[in-house]
Structure 1
Amino acid sequence: MRRFETALALDRDDPTPVFLQIARAIAARIRSGALPGGAPLPSSRALAATLRVHRNTVLAAYAELAAEGWLRTRAARGTFVTDALPARPPARFAPPPAGPARAAGFPLPPAPAPLPADEAVSRASYLLLGGTPDPRLVPSAALARAYRRALRRRDGLSYGDPRGHPRLRAALASMLASTRGIAAGADGLVVTRGSQGALALVARALLRPGDAVAVEALGYHMAWETFRLAGLRLVPVPVDAEGLDVGALSARARAEGVRAVYLTPHHHYPTTVTLAPGRRLALLDLARRERLLVIEDDYDAEFHYEGRPVLPLASADPAGVVAYVGTLSKVLAPGLRVGWVAAPPDAIERLARHRAYLDRQGDHAVEAAVAELFEDGELQRHLWRTRRILLGRRDALADRLGAAFGERLRFRRPPGGMALWCEVAGGVDPEAWARAALARGVAIQPGRQFALDGRPRPCVRLGFGRHDERELAEAVRRLARALRQVGAPGERPRAGRRSRAVSTPGCRPTAPAPPR
């Protein structure tokens, strides 16, 4: 028995759990005939001492082998190799056969537009993409503890409410009430798979195919495509230094039968300006008169660095016209897929019914874990830490850009968000610059990616969320080399901060925000 015990070699660097390594080694000896049917195995305590592992690890290995049919246990006698071995040993699935994939044997509808950042994400070392947070900042240890606690309680492992886990809805409702003035309550929310899932749900549950939706003419490609896939028709509305042009919206609502408007009023995507107070009131009044659905996407409300953040439209909505969409993707991680919709009760009921057929209920186990983070205060502490870090990164990127490019790249420091919206000097092609930067491992977003009409804009969007100050400095150095390659006006860069207003048509709005 001593030879058997010492023959089990464990690889501590192997990511495979140790109990599975032990189980597979014993199963291999049984298959080879070294351990015949009926042969006794060492006690779990003895094998654990020999292998220098915890006894529970050996017990887990024995339980795995017993479940697979390799071992049997006799009360008060020990563990033995079974006399009737499995007909075929458990094995991993074989890889698929090599060769070209077959085309679909049925007609396919038109495909959605490709994601603008696909190529950049696959090739770049530095992702200066505005909506990309830094996964290194995720409180992974706290999240793992919360997830283990939820699983130990079997919390969220059964079918549940399609509105989402009740504990997370209660935590979100408390946060929205205390920080954003939204008195929705837990029953006034539907938890979704990120804000993207929320937009898709709203488009299908609260609108009909063929309805017209007004959108910001410079805006969020993913939302536009989501609406198109739901059969909705997009109507562009101009955006200027005060946000969405509500006067233009009013005219187009009457002319084109608009039934909803989608906007990002807190930090306009992509320019970061805030919808002016007068326009906020005018928009809510217009929506009340015309019975328009206002889809308010507050995608990065948590990251506001200067002055008091403006409360959402949903906080001043007595007419019940606003569906408020939010997400934890920027706070925690996009991979967790946690977002929400807050809306009037009858709209929430409609959303929940659609959700039950589309997704049944979402991932209640993850939602229970996130609720744990809310309840023990870890999420709030993480948010405070992250906001401080992102403010430092914003200023670091702004300083580096000012020193490297001077008047060739003009921008203002946004009061919130995770990106800078920059005007490039005349003579610089943003598309060519983006291609040259990508060849040097830096992904940036030229203005065309945010234009509903697909026309070029003399602007770029530079995100600072994913990288620390040292990495941002290297990214700027590479951007400078890329700009020299594509050619730029002869002006020499001047050091210092650049915060003056930009007025180039197509790059608006960029006027400095008024103090709040």
Structure 2
Amino acid sequence: MPKRADMTIELPEDGTQPVFLAIAASIIGEIERGRLKPGDALPGTRALAAKLKVHRNTVDAAFQELTMQGWLTAKPSRGTFVADDLPEPRKSVMRAPPRTLAAGGTSTEPPPLLRISDGAADPRLMPRGELARAFRRALSAPGFLADASYGDPRGALALRTALADYLIGERGLTAAPDDLMVTRGSQMGLFLAAAAILAPGEAIAVEEPGYPLAWSAFRAAGARVIGVPVDAHGIDIDRLAHLVEREPGLKAVYVTPHHQYPTTVTLGAGRRLKLLDLARRRSLTIIEDDYDHEYRFEGRPVLSLAARAGPGLSVVYVGSLSKLLAPAVRLGYVVASPQILRRMADRREAIDRQGDLPLEHALASLIADGDLRRHTRKARRIYAARRDRLAEEIAGTLGDAVSFDPPAGGLAIWLRLRAGLSAETWAANAARSGLVITPGVRFALDAGQAPQAFRFGYANLDETELKRAVALLSKTMPHAGN
């Protein structure tokens, strides 16, 4: 049995930091001091909320933030645990040894940790002032109290209406408010969609390499997950067609066509048309995860599959507002047929009667006032500059040890390693120097077929941090064959 965590949570009294971020920071501190160790079980959100005298949603938001960052891991039906894969240097930092000086006055204190995300937005750029004002307006609006009781499991009508207008203008996707469901992040949307369209034991085809958290959501819904190879042009439609022939229980396909996760490639027009045709002929439901649509740096964003679907084809479109603001803002949405949304709402009410109404009303205000669009334009400029700076650092520092195609959009670079280099060995070496980066094996259903690559999320690091990260990669590069 895993050890139940013994920890101390300190909450600020000056109100300068959101409570859920303060809880998250306190838990990180307990991990760094060694009071929480890899594999330790955390208290349940209800028990911790009661102890801290805060709302359970606040603790849940803190746990979700730490899970997204990789500090914690959630295990279905078991609870939340400190991640098992935290690197050895963290253990050194956790023991908090006294600062010492080696000969010549050089510090021997373990290096501070630098974590490469999988493509998260930079929370330092979040429009906190605008969001705070939107919260105040939402809470003080004359009609808010009338809506503050249990509401529609599809989400606040104000946000669904604002999103419908936003999707028409920004994504070319025509959807009425009744075609939308607001969820606590896209992860909930993926789970509810799978539970609504797949019976237990039925199969869903997914991209490989692909998004492990989507696979977890589908499995939690009772589905079998089958991989389809991805190449430089996206998911292999011919291989998918062969899979459909030999798998009668295959009912759906999950794709990330705009910026494939993790390789960042865009699914070409020819393959998009073939995928839509195959899905129509074989009655497949497409789950389209368009997780970072707004971050297209060259040319216009590619029109979504859902916008091209037409009659006779079922497409469930999943989007996220977290990539526009910060991982801690857990808001996603789903566009689907009324029948699918009805089944999703039924399942949602069993676990989460409704969403966060104050947050939903605040986001509706941000969208309606144009604040979200202005923030997106600003963030897009900053992230494009960070992408370019990272590309320069990699080319100038790592040389022919790696190769990559500068992505036209998205918030990460797919860094392919030269033949003979092991991504897992390199990641382990980097961890000992204080750099956490995810090797390709994490994105593979079959570890034996794992790509020797890294997904290098750059958006949440400034130029100084990016330079330091690449320098650490250079310093810890393994020899060929290792």
Normalized against structure 2, the TM-score is what?
0.76
Which residue of structure 2 aligns with residue 190 of structure 1? 181
Report runs of 4+ in structure 1 exceeding 4 Å deviation. Answer: 108-118, 120-124
Which residue of structure 2 aligns with residue 236 of structure 1? 227
Q: Return 5+ residue gaps in structure 2 as ranges.
A: 1-11, 17-50, 54-74, 91-111
Other structure's SS at 2:149 match: coil
Is it true that 1:138 corresponds to 2:126 in the alignment? yes
In 2, the alpha carbon distance for the partners of 1:380 and 1:338 equals 16
In 2, the alpha carbon distance for the partners of 1:121 and 1:369 equals 41
In 1, the alpha carbon distance for the partners of 2:458 and 2:242 equals 37
Change (3 A) 1:113 1:421: farther
1:72-471 equivalent positions in 2, closer than 5 A = 119=86, 123=90, 125-153=113-141, 154=144, 157-257=148-248, 258-318=250-310, 319-455=312-448, 456-471=450-465
Other structure's SS at 2:476 match: helix
Contact 2:119-2:458 at 8 Å conserved across structures: no
Contact 1:429-1:458 at 8 Å conserved across structures: yes
Change (3 A) 1:326 1:114: farther
Contact 1:113-1:225 at 8 Å conserved across structures: no
Larger displacement relative to structure 2 (185-194 or 419-428): 419-428
Contact 1:221-1:450 at 8 Å conserved across structures: yes
In 1, the alpha carbon distance for the partners of 2:169 and 2:251 equals 31
Contact 1:320-1:344 at 8 Å conserved across structures: no
Deviation at 1:452, TM superposition (A): 1.0
Contact 2:89-2:431 at 8 Å conserved across structures: no
Which residue of structure 2 aligns with residue 477 of structure 1? 471
Is it true that 1:15 corresponds to 2:13 in the alignment? yes
Other structure's SS at 2:266 match: coil
1:7-46 equivalent positions in 2, closer than 5 A = 15-16=13-14
Other structure's SS at 2:86 match: helix
In 1, the alpha carbon distance for the partners of 2:268 and 2:52 equals 59
Other structure's SS at 1:362 match: coil
Other structure's SS at 1:478 match: helix
Q: Return 5+ residue gaps in structure 1 as ranges.
A: 1-13, 19-90, 94-107, 490-516
Contact 1:169-1:186 at 8 Å conserved across structures: yes
In 2, the alpha carbon distance for the partners of 1:109 and 1:331 equals 28
Other structure's SS at 1:238 match: strand
Deviation at 1:121, TM superposition (A): 13
Contact 1:190-1:340 at 8 Å conserved across structures: yes
Specify the code of the residue in structure 1 equivalent to 2:290: D
Contact 1:142-1:378 at 8 Å conserved across structures: yes
Other structure's SS at 1:269 match: coil
Percent identical: 47
Deviation at 1:314, TM superposition (A): 0.1
Residue correspondences, number: 389
In 1, the alpha carbon distance for the partners of 2:83 and 2:251 equals 28
Specify the code of the residue in structure 2 equivalent to 1:260: A
Deviation at 1:17, TM superposition (A): 7.1
Deviation at 1:479, TM superposition (A): 1.3
In 1, the alpha carbon distance for the partners of 2:171 and 2:14 equals 45
Specify the code of the residue in structure 1 equivalent to 2:180: L
In 2, the alpha carbon distance for the partners of 1:193 and 1:117 equals 26
Specify the code of the residue in structure 1 equivalent to 2:445: L
In 2, the alpha carbon distance for the partners of 1:128 and 1:117 equals 17
Change (3 A) 1:115 1:374: farther
Other structure's SS at 1:370 match: helix
Contact 2:415-2:455 at 8 Å conserved across structures: yes
Larger displacement relative to structure 2 (375-384 or 110-119): 110-119
Normalized against structure 1, the TM-score is what?
0.71
Deviation at 1:15, TM superposition (A): 2.5
Deviation at 1:165, TM superposition (A): 0.7
Which residue of structure 1 aligns with residue 62 of structure 2? none
Deviation at 1:475, TM superposition (A): 1.2
Deviation at 1:120, TM superposition (A): 6.4
